[in-house]
């Protein structure tokens, strides 16, 4: 493996990202230039300074510029930095979709993107419904404000009437608001009206299928079959993480082959898409790109390769 070179990381997150990002870049042999949020600029500068001092205490020749923090919060600094194609090899933005799109649109250097996490769980006609309830509830509620939380649940029409009431009771207990299509509402509305279910239920719109709520809100759609579930995910999903719950191996294999996402699960929560859960230790982000790194990015994803050719005088 060979280092990529100079990596710019732009983020809105907590100052711990400064240490994580700089540490991963350092360990993979890269120089890093960090641009954090304006709220933590002083903390970010101190963290980077301490890391450089610690490295120099162990290795006096460690370059002082190997870990840098942009010392200004001026927004004009970002496009100026990302125009330096001779000096910067890669940019990695971490944050909301707006930040990532803005960086991708202004950058003249390659950008590895993570736009958003519109993650799905599909409950197949051959699913273990008790397992499906557990996976759906965990995927949505264990930590709803993160990119690998489920935003849309798809249910095969052949199990919808038996599955939806069980699931709705658990979602209600967790305080989840549901946006459902016509078939979902036809099953749950009578339960709500008869006081058997205390659940906020609204009509799902086209915008809801695209939505990354990052909240206790869930869109639910009843689909005709596996193919319609795959088509829905590939139309509205963000290429992050999607799951099928099924006891049918052939069905699961088709889902895993045809769904276009960086992580596809069979009978497991989408919440596992994480560098630490994948055994990578710390991660620098989760890429939804297809070229280069895809999914959680650790040390290996921060490197490239080169050919080392040994000869004994050969010519061509």
pLDDT for 14-23, tens place per residue? 898 899 999 9
Question: In residues, how long is the chain?
Answer: 316
Backbone angles phi, psi at 144, to 5 degrees: -70, -20
pLDDT class for 282, splitting at 50, 70, 90? confident
CB contact set of 244 (below 8 Å; sequence gap of 6+): 121, 122, 124, 229, 251, 252, 255, 256, 264, 265, 266, 267
Backbone angles phi, psi at 309, to 5 degrees: -115, 120
CA-to-CA distance for 91 and 94, rounded, in angstroms?
10
pTM score, whole prediction: 0.91
CA-to-CA distance for 144 and 238, rounded, in angstroms?
17
Q: Report pLDDT for 12.
A: 84
Q: Report pLDDT for 291.
A: 84
Q: Where are the domains of the chain?
A: 2-113+276-304, 119-272
In CATH, the number for domain 119-272 is 3.40.309.10
Concatenated DSSP letters for 124-183? Answer: -TT--HHHHHHHHHHHHHSSTTSTTSEEEEEEETTTHHHHHHHHHHHHHHTT-EEEE-HH
Structure token digits, residue 61: 């020749």
Q: What is the mean pLDDT of the chain?
A: 95
Q: Report pLDDT for 97.
A: 82
Among 191, 132, 194, 128, CA closest to 165: 191
Structure token digits, residue 59: 């290795």
286 contacts 13 by C-beta, under 8 angstroms: no
Q: Which residues on neighbouring strands pair with residue 209, listed in sequence order?
A: none
CA-to-CA distance for 116 and 148, rounded, in angstroms?
9
pLDDT in tens, 230-265: 999 999 999 999 999 999 999 999 999 999 999 999
- 102 three-class SS: helix
- 281 three-class SS: coil
Could you say which DSSP state residue 111 is in? B
| Statement: 2-113+276-304 belongs to CATH 3.40.605.10 | yes
pLDDT in tens, 64-123: 999 999 999 898 999 999 999 999 999 999 888 888 999 999 999 999 988 789 999 999
Q: How many CB atoms lie within 10 A of CB 68?
A: 18
Portion of the chain with pLDDT greater than 90, in percent? 88
pLDDT in tens, 212-234: 999 999 999 999 999 999 999 99
Better pLDDT: 130 or 16: 130
For the sheet containing 90-94, what is the strand order?
A: 67-69, 31-35, 6-11, 90-94
Q: Report pLDDT for 140.
A: 98
For residues 135-153, one letter each, b for 16 or more C-beta atoms within 10 angstroms of the residue's C-beta and e for the rest, the string is bbbbbbbeebeebbbbbbb
The residue-averaged pLDDT of 291-297 equals: 89
pLDDT in tens, 49-59: 999 999 999 99
pLDDT in tens, 31-44: 999 999 889 999 99
pLDDT class for 202, splitting at 50, 70, 90? very high
């Amino acid at each position: 493996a060979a280092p990529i070179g100079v990596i710019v990381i732009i983020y809105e997150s907590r100052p711990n990202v400064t240490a994580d990002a700089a540490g991963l870049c350092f360990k993979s042999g890269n120089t890093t230039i960090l641009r954090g949020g304006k709220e933590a600029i002083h903390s970010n500068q101190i963290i980077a300074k301490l890391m450089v001092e610690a490295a120099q205490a162990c290795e006096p020749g460690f370059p002082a510029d190997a870990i840098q923090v942009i010392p200004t919060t001026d927004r004009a600094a970002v496009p100026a930095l990302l125009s330096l194609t001779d000096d910067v090899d890669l940019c990695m933005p971490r944050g909301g979709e707006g930040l990532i799109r803005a960086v991708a649109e202004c950058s003249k250097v390659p950008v590895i993107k993570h736009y958003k996490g519109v993650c799905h769980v599909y409950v197949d006609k051959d699913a273990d419904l008790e397992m499906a309830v557990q996976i759906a509830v965990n995927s949505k509620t264990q930590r709803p404000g993160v990119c690998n939380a489920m935003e849309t649940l798809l249910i095969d029409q052949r199990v919808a009437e038996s599955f939806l009431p069980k699931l709705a009771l658990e979602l209600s207990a967790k305080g989840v608001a549901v946006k459902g299509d016509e078939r979902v509402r036809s099953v749950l509305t009578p339960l709500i009206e008869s006081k058997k279910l205390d659940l906020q239920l609204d009509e799902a719109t086209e915008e809801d299928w695209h939505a990354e709520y990052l909240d206790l809100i869930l869109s639910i759609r009843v689909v005709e079959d596996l193919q319609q579930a795959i088509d829905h995910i590939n139309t509205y999903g963000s290429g992050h993480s999607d799951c099928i719950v099924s006891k049918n191996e052939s069905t699961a294999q088709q889902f895993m082959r045809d769904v276009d996402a960086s992580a596809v699960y069979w009978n497991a929560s989408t919440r596992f898409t994480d560098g630490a859960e994948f055994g990578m230790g710390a991660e620098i982000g989760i890429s939804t790109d297809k070229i280069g790194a895809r999914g959680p990015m650790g040390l290996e994803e921060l490197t490239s390769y080169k050919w080392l050719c040994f000869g004994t005088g050969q010519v061509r």
